[in-house]
Amino acid sequence: MKAKLMAKSLLIVDDEKDLLHLLKRSLAPDLGCRIETASSGKEALDTIAADNFDLVLADIKMPRMDGLELLDIIKKRYPDLTVVMMTAFGQIDTAVEAMKYGAYDFITKPFDHEALVVRLEKALERSSLLKENLRLKMECRGDSVFQKIIGKTPIMQRLFETIKMVANTDLTVLITGESGTGKDLTGRAIHALSPRRHGPYVSVNCPTVPEQILESELFGYRKGAFTHATQNKVGLFQEADGGTIFLDEIGDISPTIQTKLLRVLQEKEIKPLGSPKSVGIDVRIIASTNQNLTAKIREKTFREDFFYRLNVLPVRMPPLRERAEDIPLIASHLLEKHCAQLNKPMKRFSKDLMDAFLVRHWEGNVREMENIIIQGIMFSGDDEIHPRDVGIQTTDGASGSTPDEPLLKQPYKQAKEKMLRQFNSAFIGRLLIQSGGNVTQAARQCGLERQALQQIMRRYGIKADDFRK
């Protein structure tokens, strides 16, 4: 007999409960691994979703969901999970078909115990090799998965460990945190590290879609469902089938949509508008919010039962002020990134600006920092970015640590023109960054007519194209 394979786990699936007990009792001493059982395909899928297994041993002939259907779902959701099928002696053709669909091996009933143990040991060895190979791949590409979520502080290292942990499950995740903390990046990282990484990743920014449109976007519709429904439309949940859907800012959706999403979480199916039938979906849901959902529950604007369905695996994104030691690292990364994207020579931060960064509250977190750095790249007069270039007030109340002495020695008109240029460059630049270079939107935000804003931009050489990505 081969050496026992320790620290492994096996799930046996069969509708005959007596056989399950017999297999568990007889295989445990020889395989030396943890063994769990499930008496139906649905129970098996629930068990796999809640735990990690190295091997699944499943009977082909079962009521409701047979072994082939179970195999198909497992290979879609967990493509690296090893599956061995059990079949009666007269069903060899079905077992061969199962191997075509991804089963590693098949075993015929009645079993020869020694042969069964050898076959399962080989399957466990294969699973061990696959997991080791995957681990090495993850180590090699770990930086690329997390490269956009930057941080060396202990709180961020704990976050990375949490992401890896929740990625290995298929459970619903709720990511909370202030605006600009990287909730979308975290959702993408969870998907990239999960067994669903080869499937689609569909991101939905819920607040940007009107309520009357959001339902049809999420669930789709059938021709004739409403006035302008001239053809069938596949919803985003169906587009995400086999992968992940990311529902950004879930706290902003209406109670009506909450109710419909609650049904999706409970039943794993959707009902397109105008359709008499529901459609089963195979989608993992990751949601995010910057709001206090507990407070919204008290205010009766967020369903409590929906919250508990979402909050299975909570992930909290820390704000910048809780990890100030990461600020220089993040700022340097953003500076290098945007100098390259804007085709500008590499610049550096002045000591005054970095000191200001370290004590700033950062209500908009990394997104706010990114906007400020882009302004600095665009409007600094030399290769160093100062607080005055981005309109930041330092501790002495000035836009810099010392008064601008050369400016005070200049003639009034020249000094005034320089100050106006700095002000307009910073003020209009920030508006154009927020609007993505949309002059009409920027004018509306600052209360000017579009033509008036364009005139100021021409005077100070500000080009909207520089802010369009």
CATH level 3 topology of 9-136: Rossmann fold (3.40.50)
Joined together, the tokens standing for residue 454 give: 């364009």
CA-only gyration radius of the chain, Å:
29
Examine domains 9-136 and 149-318 and report if their fold is the same: yes
Q: Which residue has the tokens 């005070």?
A: 408
Q: What is the pLDDT of residues 17-40, one digit of tens each?
A: 888 999 998 888 888 888 999 999
Contact by Cβ (8 Å): 342, 468: no
Say what the pLDDT of residue 60 is: 87
226 CB-contact burial (10 Å; exposed 0-12 / middle 13-18 / buried 19+): exposed
Name the architecture of domain 149-318: 3-Layer(aba) Sandwich (3.40)
How far is residue 353 CA from its own chain's centroid?
32
Instruction: Identify the burial level of 272 via C-beta atoms within 10 angstroms of its C-beta, where 0-12 means exposed, 13-18 middle and 19 or more buried.
Output: buried
Q: In angstroms, rounded to a whole number, what is the distance separating the alpha carbons of residues 333 and 329?
A: 6
For the chain, the domains span 9-136, 149-318, 321-467
pLDDT score recorded for residue 136? 56
Q: Confirm if 157 and 150 have CB atoms less than 8 A apart.
A: no
Q: How many CB atoms within 10 Å of residue 387? A: 23
pLDDT of residue 400: 46
Give the bridge partners for 44, in sequence order. none
How many Å apart are CA 8 and CA 129, to the nearest integer?
Answer: 12
Looking up tokens 């607080």 gives 387
Q: Look at residue 407 in the predicted model and tell me its pLDDT.
A: 55
Quick one: pLDDT at residue 140?
47
Ordered mean pLDDT values, 10 residues apiece, the chain (469 residues): 54 90 88 89 85 87 87 83 82 74 84 88 85 58 62 89 92 94 94 92 90 87 77 89 94 92 92 87 95 93 94 94 89 89 88 88 91 90 87 59 52 76 78 83 86 86 75
Question: What is the domain class of 321-467 according to CATH?
Answer: mainly alpha
| Apex 259 CA angle, 257 and 261, nearest 5 | 70
> Per residue, what are the HEC states of the chain?
CCCCCCCCEEEEECCCHHHHHHHHHHHHHHHCCEEEEECCHHHHHHHHHHCCCCEEEEECCCCCCCHHHHHHHHHHHCCCCEEEEEEEHHHHHHHHHHHHCCCCEEEEECCCHHHHHHHHHHHHHHHHHHHHHHHHHHHHHHHHHHCCCCCCCHHHHHHHHHHHHHHCCCCCEEEECCCCCCHHHHHHHHHHHCCCCCCCEEEEEHHHCCHHHHHHHHHEECCCCCCCCCCCEECHHHHCCCCEEEEECHHHCCHHHHHHHHHHHHHCEECCECCCCCEECCCEEEEEECCCHHHHHHCCCCCHHHHHHHCCEEEECCCHHHCHHHHHHHHHHHHHHHHHHCCCCCCEECHHHHHHHHHCCCCCHHHHHHHHHHHHHHHCCCCEECHHHCCCCCCCCCCCCCCCHHHHCCCHHHHHHHHHHHHHHHHHHHHHHHHCCCHHHHHHHHCCCHHHHHHHHHHCCCCHHHHCC
